[in-house]
Structure 1
Amino acid sequence: MRNLSVFVKAFFRILFTILAVLLAVLATVITCSLRWMFDTWSNLTMDELIYHLTSPLDGTNDAMIREYIDTCIVPAVIVLLFLLVLFAAFRKKKRYYIVMAGAIVLSVSVGALSVRGAWQDLDVGNYVADRGTYSTFIDDNYVSPSDVELTFPQEKRNLIYIFLESMETTYADTQSGGAFDRNVIPELTQIAQENEDFSGETADLNGGYSMPGTTWTIGAMFAQTSGLPLSVSIDGNSMDTQTSFFAGAVTLGDILESQGYSQTLLIGSDAAFGGRELYFTEHGNYEMMDYKYAVQNGLIPEDYHVWWGYEDEKLFEFARQKVTELAAQPEPFNLTMLTVDTHFEDGYVCERCPQLYGDDQYSNVMRCSSRQVSAFVQWLQQQDFYENTTIILCGDHPTMDSDYCEDIDSGYTRKTYTAYINAAAQKETETRRDFTTFDQFPTTLAALGVQIEGNRLGLGTNLFSSEPTLTERFGRETEERELKKNSQLIEKLADIDYDSESLKVREGRVPTGTVYADPYLRDIGGIPVTVTDLANLPDEVQSVQIAVWTNEDQSDLQWIQLGAREDGSFGANINVANYGFKLGVYYIDAYIVDSTGTPYMIGQATGYVD
């Protein structure tokens, strides 16, 4: 009986010790993670947090991951070791249970206080309430382009629309309406001041607010070309899993296609990411000139990959070539571009980047972007086709960089950069406009000389008109609050298929296959990869390719074309020298590319080098 009592006592001692250690480590991880999260993403909202938690790690570099480990995991390990030493020192003393109880109470208290603080800062209660509530705001204020008369000029104008990654009016100096002591985008500032940004009679820059559902790239591109938020019950960067992208919406691309425009999307990354390729091909039949296109057409070497694909220096070089080709065609054109060098964290430093701001890398990158955009605009203005061409420069969304705007005054309102150049429209009012990125949709058409019945499309208003925007009518806070809620109209227009990928496979509408990665072969310095069991193939297969990366943020992603074999399979070796003979996991996605250049993901595998 005495032995049983000793056993029970020892059991509970071990149980409470494990509980105390686990709670202490968990409280440390939670507290440090929350602190790191708020330090990394300034002005963090619940919408943005959900986006970061549910989207892939694209854009997250190794430095950020290492920072998280140093800030959160290392302290947890230190606490673990400290407790083990502490409990070992007190294990035979009467105060042992007091120490354990104190550790448990302290851990629970610290963890609870941290969660409570984050709950309040993120306003989680209202967020949950909003997501469980339907609003008629969108339903009542949305104007479908199919219900509006649009009158194009007899001679249709060309459009060059450049989405500027993370570009804000904030980066200008305070004298120009920005928030910085020193202007890091002087060229873009001058462009906005000399052209149209709807700032009225002042020289202060003006821009659009980013509303809920528009604060990441595909959400921003969708908002500016459809007048709608990408607010659906699916991660916005997972729209590429859908068979359609808001099939019920009529967008800028749809309208211009119906008017005979030749349309091109030129970007330095993979257009498939986030559903961009799906959206722009379905709505406007845009030609895709992305990173894959550049590799396949010899614009860059097959093994070339920096940042997200290739840098903006090459983007503008390719743009000059493409716009010259488009201008020689008889039909009007729409060349839509997206820059990438200014993506968080801290941007990409190319060979053109000036070192004007010391070790402030992001400012140097912003200045480089400002100079490159300005040089491209000046080149366009010297071309014969410029007279009949409208150029629009718009930031896609505010930057997600962790600390770039942390020192600006809390009362300053951050807006996306906006400039309309050579627009075929006259303003009806000199009042400084209060607007969102939704308003870019009808304003773009107006800048092309299109007469818009009622001057409203989507949730947007033609800013050249005197018609008030929704922001001017209801106020920004009211608009934001209502847009955070669900909308029956959005659900109808989106027509989300939550089992779309398996449905497409069952119906035989996408290719499938099996991907194998064999063990690393040191004698050839490579990982053999085989794609076999191919089914549901298109009539013509352009190529079979694999995307390979080792970093979680895919910053070292490279594309490899596979060769056909006699048995019907495809294969190639991953040259690990291209990854610096890095040890660990090699992630592999396989794609079939049809005759139109459309890729279909057919399988995944992982290789390993030890």
Structure 2
Amino acid sequence: MIRRVGVVGGRVLVYALIWAGLVLLITAAGIRFYWGRISVGQMLLNLVSVETDGGGGAIVWVGVLGIGVAPLLITVGIALWQCFRRRARHHHGDETRPRRSPWIARTVFTASVAAVVVGGTTAFATTVGMGDYIKAANSRYDLGDYYAEPTVTGDQHKRNLVLVYLESGEATLADDQLSETDAFAPLQEVTRASDGWRSVHDLRQYEGGGWTMAGLVSTQCGVPLKDMVSTAGSGASDGSDGDVDAYLGGLTCLGDVLDEHGYHSVFLGGANASFAAKDTFLHSHGYSGVKDLSDWRAAGEPEKHFRSDWGLSDERLMAHAKDEVDELHAEAERNGQPFHLSVLTLDTHEPVHVFDYCTVDAQNEVASVLSCSMTQVAGFVDHMQEKGYLDDTAVVIMGDHLMPRNAGDAFHEQLDDHENRTIFNRIWIPGEDANSTLRPRADQLSMYPTILEAAGLTLQGHEAGLGVSAFAPEVPDGSAQAMEPGPYAELLSSRSSWFYAQAWAGESAAR
């Protein structure tokens, strides 16, 4: 009896290992195809908060079938096959088979199980950067030692602010040798340096970033976005599932500073704002209005203007943005309260969707979709110019992150080995000297103080978070931005458990 229980238990363990190996292998393959190599933090903060409506769409069902159903069916199929083999062998007796065949079959089966388990574990660990995650726990650096609480020393020159995030807005794709055509040409035409627009030359994605929420947090809070696993046992509430009450509530972010200085902040996006807890982040940090997929449906937008996986087209989003900026500007003139409008585009989110307003005129349709999206953003800039809003409103336009490098990305072959991948950006400051330059090669963390100073606020030391404003010609000694590349990369990857525990728990992370 004991022997039989042991045999059954052993078989159950083997099939459990097969199932686990298949789950990890298929998960790794799916992540590689849709997102490329990601981080543990990105997985925990994004993948667990997908939405079937406007937050991933079909990808959610692919995940359910591929990760939840397929491994189980394959494992059950293998178990049934093994069961039928054993019954057939018992029914016919051992004399009909060569004496050594059972051992050969068992060896092959054992090797196959081991290959699935080891292969799946290795593929998954490599895909999500598990080694880097473990290494980061032993870092000698802590973000809290370099974090600078934003201190505003003057707001007498504060002005309205419009902030536009371009989904996967990588400046590298402005190279027509790389993507057939300069997809940013429509936007570049209305943001020319000769007209007073400026840019941060070679704006870098921060080390460890690469997805929308990481782009929002880094450019509005000045820190890398980290998950909650690193703060387990530190008293912080878990903010990884989209149901949290506050999102990094212990940090002082862009919307918080603007709110303290009388701004009215509104966010517009085409997707479901609850995806990755974006709405929680915005409401936690000074935004009084968040309009997303549900609002556009309630406004009566026809279904043809939506893509099933993410949401509203950029053509219609920018039409709403024009209406919104008209209302906000009129209200600001009436009550003297400045406004802040943030907009996040959608069309260029992989896999791209070609709306009927966009004509595919390139061999690679991604280039055409990107150009169509930039045309819509350019139209929004033209609208503000024609209305005279650029006389009293600062505008910052930038990509939220680089184009993902995954097997399903149209440009992955061209981008994988590119030596200088940068984020597209343009900055407009009313009345400023167009000949003045911004400090080059800043990263996304330095965009936080840059945006605050673009809004007309004066910052002590030009610092906020880990960033130093691009308007500052030099980086202060002791700043994270003054570190050598190697140590700086290690700082950004460090777990910094106490710092993030405080931030997620809603307690001040400043020391």
Does TM, normalized by the shorter one, top 0.5? Answer: yes
Q: CA deviation at 1:423?
A: 5.1
Contact 1:165 1:395 in 2 (8 A): yes
- Asked whether the 8 Å contact 1:425–1:447 carries over to 2, the reply is no
| 1:103-134 deviation line (CA, Å, top 9, x unaligned) | 11332145324534654565523412424667
Structure 1 position 378 matched with structure 2 position 367 = no
Aligned to 1:440: 447
**Secondary structure at the counterpart of residue 327 of structure 2:** helix
CA 1:88–1:119 in 2, change beyond 3 Å: closer, same or farther?
same
Q: Does 1:388 align with 2:387?
A: no
CA distance in 1, matches of 2:322, 2:35: 36
C-alpha distance in structure 2 between counterparts of 1:485 and 1:413, whole Å: 24
1:161 aligns with 2:163: yes
Aligned counterpart in structure 1 of residue 241 of structure 2, from 238, 241, 244: 238
What is the 5 A alignment of 1:360-379? Answer: 360-379=364-383
Could you say which structure has the larger radius of gyration? Answer: 1
**Cα gap change, 1:31 to 1:261, in 2 (>3 Å):** closer
Post-superposition shift, 1:493? 3.4
The RMSD of aligned alpha carbons is: 3.9
Taking the aligned partners of 2:302 and 2:182, their CA distance within structure 1 comes to 36
Which secondary structure state, in structure 1, belongs to the residue aligned with residue 412 of structure 2?
A: coil
- How much has 1:463 moved relative to structure 2? 0.4
* Structure 2 residue ranges without an equivalent (≥5): 230-237
Give SS of 1:241's match.
coil
Which residue does the alignment assign to 1:354? Answer: 359
* Aligned counterparts of 2:63 and 2:250: Cα–Cα separation in 1: 43
- Partner Cα separation in structure 2 for residue 219 and residue 361 of structure 1: 27
Shift in CA distance, 65/463, structure 1 to aligned 2, threshold 3 Å: same
Higher mean C-alpha displacement, 157-166 vs 64-73: 64-73
Task: Render the CA deviation track for 1:349-397: whole Å, top value 9, x for unaligned.
Answer: 3221221234x44333222211111121122211122222221112122
Query: Is contact 1:87-1:96 (8 Å) kept?
Result: no
Q: Provide the C-alpha distance between the structure 2 equivalents of 1:300 and 1:41, rounded to a whole number of angstroms.
A: 30
| Pick aligned residue for 2:495 from 486, 489, 499 | 486
- Residues 417-432 of structure 1: pairs in structure 2 closer than 5 A: 417-422=424-429, 424-426=431-433, 430=437
SS state of the match for residue 220, structure 1? helix
Q: Does the C-alpha gap of structure 1 residues 28 and 121 become closer, same or farther in structure 2, counting only changes over 3 Å?
A: closer
Q: Which residue of 1 aligns with 2:235?
A: none
Q: Could you tell me which of 214, 220, 227 is aligned with 2:215?
A: 220
Q: 1:424 to 1:473 in 2, by over 3 A?
A: farther
Amino acid at match of 1:253: G
Per-residue Cα deviation, 1:442-473 (whole angstroms, up to 9, x for no partner)? 11122233333311122111102212286752
Q: Distance in 1 between matches of 2:42 and 2:402?
A: 12
Q: Aligned-pair distance for 1:32?
A: 4.7
1:562 is matched with: none
- Aligned-residue offset at 1:221: 1.9
Give the structure, 1 or 2, with the largest relative contact order (CA under 8 Å, sep 6 or more). Answer: 2
Counterpart of 1:43 (choices 5, 27, 37) is 37
Deviation at 1:157, TM superposition (A): 2.2
Amino acid at match of 1:357: A
Q: Which structure shows the bigger proportion of residues in strand conformation?
A: 1
Alignment partners' CA distance in 2, 1:16 and 1:249: 51
Q: Is the 8 A contact 1:159 1:335 kept in 2?
A: yes
Q: Equivalent of 1:260, from 246, 262, 269?
A: 262
Residue 148 of structure 2 is aligned to residue 143 of structure 1 = yes
Q: Deviation of residue 436 (structure 1)?
A: 1.7
**Alpha-carbon offset, residue 477 of structure 1:** 4.2
Alpha-carbon distance in structure 1 between the residues aligned to 2:493 and 2:250 = 21
CA distance in 2, matches of 1:21, 1:237: 31
TM-score (norm 2): 0.78
Equivalent-residue separation in structure 1 for 2:129 and 2:148 (angstroms): 31
Once residues 133 and 185 of structure 2 are traced to their aligned partners in structure 1, the CA distance between those partners, rounded to angstroms, is 38
Q: TM-score, normalised by structure 1?
A: 0.66
> Per the alignment, do residues 414 and 87 of structure 1 end up closer, same or farther by CA in structure 2, a change over 3 Å counting?
farther
1:62 paired to 2:66: no
Contact 1:163/1:394 (8 A) holds in 2: yes
Deviation at 1:262, TM superposition (A): 2.9
Matching of residue 322 in structure 1 with residue 329 in structure 2? no
In structure 1, the residue matched to 2:206 is 210
Identity %, equivalent residues = 22
Q: For 2:133, give the aligned amino acid.
A: Y
- For residues 29 and 244 of structure 2, the distance between their equivalents in structure 1, rounded to whole angstroms, comes to 34
**Does 2:424 match 1:450?**
no
Distance 2:18 2:296 in 1: 52
Check conservation: 1:248, 1:494, Cα contact below 8 A. yes
> Does the residue aligned with 2:322 lie in a helix, a strand or coil?
helix
Maintained 8 Å contact 2:168/2:402 = yes
Secondary structure of the corresponding residue to residue 346 of structure 2: coil
Partner of 2:113: 107
After superposition, where does 1:114-193 map in structure 2 within 5 Å? 114-116=120-122, 118-119=124-125, 123-131=129-137, 135-136=141-142, 138-146=143-151, 148-153=152-157, 156-173=158-175, 179-190=178-189
Shift of 1:76: 6.5
